[in-house]
Structure 1
Amino acid sequence: MSNFSLILVVSMLSAFGLIASDVYLPAMPAMAHQFAIGAWQMPQTVSAYLIALACAQLFFGPLSDRWGRKPVLSVGILLYVLGSLGCASANGFTSFLTWRMLEALGAASGLVIGRAIIADTCDKKSSAKVYSVVYPLVSLSPALAPAIGGNLAAWFGWRSDFLFVAAFGLVAFCLVQTLLKETRVASATPQLMNPFAGFADVLRDRAFVRYTLVVCAIYCAWFIYLTQSPFIFSGFGLSEQQSGWLYLPLTIGIISANLVSRRLLDRVSYDSIVVAGVACFVAGAIAFIAFQWWDMAHVFTIVLPMFLVSLSNGSSLSLAVSGAIASEHGRAATASGLVGFFQIGSASLAAAAASGLLGTGSQVLAIGVPCCALVAALSIVPRWYAARRTLALRKGAWR
Structure 2
Amino acid sequence: MPRLTFILTVAMLSAFGLVASDIYLPAMPGMATEFGIASWQMPQTVSFYLLALAIAQLAYGPMSDRGGRKPVLLAGGVLYLLGSVGCALSSSYMDFIAWRMVEAVGAAAGLVIGRALIADTCDKRTSAKVYAVIYPLVSLSPALAPAIGGHLAVAFGWRADFLFVAAFGAVALLLALFLIPETLPVAARSRNAPFAGFSRVLGDRSFCRYTLVVCSIYCAWFVYLTQSPFLFVQAGLSEAQSGWLYMPLTLGIIGANLLARRLLDRLPYDRIVAIGITCFVLGAMAFLLAYAMGWHSVTAVVLPMCLVSLANGSSLSLAISGAIASEHGHAATASGLVGFCQIGSAAVVAMGVSAVLGTGFGVLAGAVAVLSCLALFACMPSLYRKQPAQPG
Aligned-residue offset at 1:99: 0.2
Deviation for aligned residue 1:10: 1.4
Residues in 1 aligned to 2:254 and 2:45: alpha-carbon distance in whole angstroms:
27
What do the CA deviations read for 1:87-129 (whole angstroms, capped 9, x no partner)? 0111111110000000001101111122333344556676555
The letter for the 1-side match of 2:218 is Y
Task: Describe the shift of the 1:120–1:382 C-alpha distance in structure 2 as closer, same or farther (beyond 3 A).
Answer: closer
Deviation at 1:30, TM superposition (A): 0.5
Amino acid corresponding to residue 239 of structure 2 in structure 1: E
Q: Following TM superposition, by how much is the alpha carbon of 1:274 offset from its aligned partner in structure 2, in angstroms?
A: 1.7
Name the structure 2 match of 1:168: 168
Q: CA deviation at 1:328?
A: 4.2
Q: How does 1:1-399 map to 2 (within 5 A)?
A: 3-121=3-121, 127=127, 130-189=130-189, 193-383=192-382
* AA of the residue aligned to 1:356: A
Distance 1:274 1:129 in 2: 14
- Helix, strand or coil for the counterpart of 1:238? coil
- Structure 1, gaps ≥5 residues long: 388-399
Shift in alpha-carbon separation, 1:318–1:88, aligned structure 2, 3 A = same
Q: Tell me which amino acid in the other structure corresponds to 1:216.
A: C
- Alpha-carbon separation, structure 2, partners of 1:26 and 1:174: 29
Question: Is contact 1:152-1:161 (8 Å) kept?
Answer: yes
**Gap change, CA 1:71 and 1:337, over 3 Å in 2:** closer
How far apart are the structure 1 equivalents of 2:276 and 2:125? Answer: 25
- How far is the alpha carbon of 1:167 from its aligned partner? 1.1
DSSP-derived class of the 1:255 partner: helix
Q: Is the 8 A contact 1:212 1:339 kept in 2?
A: yes
Give, in angstroms, the shift of residue 201 of structure 1: 2.9
TM-score, with structure 1 as normaliser:
0.90
Moved more, 68-77 or 305-314: 68-77
1:120 and 1:358, CA in 2 relative to 1: closer, same or farther beyond 3 A?
same
The one-character-per-residue Cα deviations of 1:38-64 (angstroms, maximum 9, x if unpaired) are 111111111111111111111123323
By how many angstroms is 1:333 displaced? 3.6
Q: What is the identity, as a one-letter code, of the residue corresponding to 2:333?
A: T
Change in Cα spacing, 1:66 to 1:52, as seen in structure 2 (3 Å) is same
Query: Cα distance, 1:71 vs. partner?
Result: 2.7
Aligned length: 384
Task: Write the deviation string for residues 238-278 of structure 1: whole angstroms up to 9, x where unpaired.
Answer: 00110000001111111111111222233333222222211
Residues 49, 101 of structure 1: 8 Å contact kept: yes
Partner Cα separation in structure 2 for residue 25 and residue 349 of structure 1? 18
Root mean square deviation, CA, Å: 2.1
Q: For the Cα contact (< 8 Å) 2:25–2:225, is it kept in 1? A: yes
Distance 1:90 1:281, change over 3 A: same
Secondary structure, counterpart of 1:268 in structure 2: coil
Q: Match of 2:117, as an amino acid?
A: I
Q: 1:243 to 1:124 in 2, by over 3 A?
A: same
Greater Cα offset, 182-191 or 209-218:
182-191
Task: Measure, in 2, the Cα distance between the counterparts of 1:3 and 1:292.
Answer: 47
Report if aligned partners of 1:25, 1:226 keep a CA contact under 8 Å in 2.
Answer: yes
SS at match of 1:196: coil
Which letter does structure 2 place at the counterpart of 1:337? Answer: G
Q: What amino acid is aligned across from residue 362 of structure 2 in structure 1?
A: Q
Residue aligned with 2:320, SS: helix
- Give the secondary-structure state (helix, strand or coil) at the position aligned to 2:187: coil
Q: 1:263 to 1:6 in 2, by over 3 A?
A: closer
Contact map agreement 1:275 1:381 (CA 8 A) in 2: no
Letter in 1 for 2:277: V
How far is 1:354 from its partner? 0.6
**In the aligned structure 1, how far is the partner of 2:164 from the partner of 2:66?**
32
Residues 178, 327 of structure 1: alpha-carbon distance in 2 compared, 3 angstrom cutoff: closer
Q: 1:322 to 1:98 in 2, by over 3 A?
A: same
Structure 1 9/324 Cα, relative in aligned 2: closer, same or farther at 3 Å?
Answer: closer
Larger radius of gyration: 1
Structure 2: gaps (5+ residues): 386-392
- Amino acid in the other structure paired with 2:113: I
Structure 2: distance between partners of 1:90 and 1:140:
27
- Shift of the 275–5 alpha-carbon distance from structure 1 to 2, 3 Å rule, reads closer
Whether the aligned pair in 2 keeps the contact of 1:23 and 1:149 (CA below 8 Å) is yes
The 3 A distance-change label for structure 1 pair 256 and 250 is same
Question: Deviation at 1:382?
Answer: 4.3
Whether the 8 Å CA contact 1:211–1:380 is kept in 2: the answer is no
Equivalent residues of 2:44, 2:351 under 8 A apart: yes
| In structure 2, distance between residues paired with 1:122 and 1:377 | 29
- Residue pair 1:202, 1:331 contacting (<8 A) in 2 also: yes
